[in-house]
């Protein structure tokens, strides 16, 4: 029997309560703000970031040099930031004590969420999170690349004054490693980087100087 096709009567009421509790917890990601801004001047939520990654995955999957299981990729994307419902989002460039313990704190949060769920759902949740973090499968590598690309794409849509100095540098330092394994991802990166450079030039920032500084 394939995953998800069991008769609904096999789900005890108490376990359904656990699933609903986790969905309620995950709802906080709709209001957990990231250090990214939308084109209308509002900050981006974690949930919105996840949604845009999902759209990118669907559109990019047919063009990948190395094929992936799109369904598995979407599962990884859907759950990759769910620990932030407990830990909160931490910007990539932040230097702090909480950044130093980020992975351990997220692992603890994932264990908390796992225990709220029925055994099968909890096991699947933890396996997907670990697959994304380990970044060894084609699907995890694809999802991780989209995570980095979506951030820059969102920055490109926002006002330049919302970018920090670190985020100017990240145009040249954050995306390449995650995308290097696939020519299609590198092409997408080139388009996103080109638009970032145009935004910088239009805003009076010299991208050549930024690149030299960053690299």
Q: Is residue 70 part of a domain?
A: yes
Asked whether residue 209 is domain-assigned, the answer is yes
Q: Is residue 92 a part of any domain in this protein?
A: yes
Number of domains in the chain: 1
Answer yes or no: is 2 within a domain.
no
For 71-92, write each residue's pLDDT tens digit: 999 999 999 999 999 999 998 8
pLDDT tens across 95-118, in order? 999 999 999 999 999 999 999 999
Express each pLDDT in 155-182 by its tens digit.
999 999 999 999 999 999 999 999 999 9
The answer to whether residue 11 scores a pLDDT higher than 90 is yes
Token reading at 51 = 């949604």
6 has a pLDDT exceeding 70: no
What CATH number does residue 106 fall under?
Answer: 1.10.3210.10
Helix (H) or strand (E) holding 113: helix 102-116
Q: Which domain holds residue 110?
A: 12-214
Whats the size of the chain, residue-wise?
215
Beta bridge partners of 43: 37
In a domain, 1, yes or no: no
Q: Are 192 and 175 in contact (CB under 8 A)?
A: yes
Confidence category of residue 55, pLDDT binned at 50, 70, 90: very high
Closest by CA to 111, choosing from 123, 99, 102, is 123
Measured CA to CA, the distance from residue 137 to residue 154 in angstroms comes to 26
> Kind and range of the H or E element at 45?
strand 43-45
Q: Is residue 7 part of a domain?
A: no
Segment 115-149, tens digit of pLDDT? 999 999 999 999 999 999 999 999 999 999 999 99
């Amino acid at each position: 029997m394939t995953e998800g096709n069991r008769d609904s009567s096999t789900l005890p009421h108490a376990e359904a309560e656990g699933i609903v509790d986790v969905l309620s917890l995950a709802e906080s990601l709709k209001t957990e703000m990231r250090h990214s801004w939308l084109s209308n001047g509002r900050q981006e939520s974690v949930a919105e970031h996840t949604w845009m990654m999902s759209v990118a995955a669907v559109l990019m999957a047919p063009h990948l040099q190395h094929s992936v299981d799109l369904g598995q990729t979407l599962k990884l994307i859907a759950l990759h930031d769910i620990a932030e419902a407990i830990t909160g989002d931490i910007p990539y460039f932040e230097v702090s004590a909480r950044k130093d313990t980020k992975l351990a704190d997220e692992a603890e949060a994932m264990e908390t969420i796992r225990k709220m769920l029925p055994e099968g759902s909890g096991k699947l949740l933890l396996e997907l999170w670990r697959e994304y973090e380990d970044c060894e499968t084609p699907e995890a590598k694809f999802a991780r690349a989209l995570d980095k690309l979506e951030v820059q794409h969102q920055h490109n849509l926002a006002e330049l004054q919302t970018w920090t100095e670190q985020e100017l540098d990240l145009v040249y330092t954050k995306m390449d490693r995650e995308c290097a394994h696939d020519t299609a991802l590198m092409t997408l990166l080139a388009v996103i980087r080109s638009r970032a450079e145009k935004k910088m030039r239009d805003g009076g920032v010299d991208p050549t100087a930024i690149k030299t500084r960053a690299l």
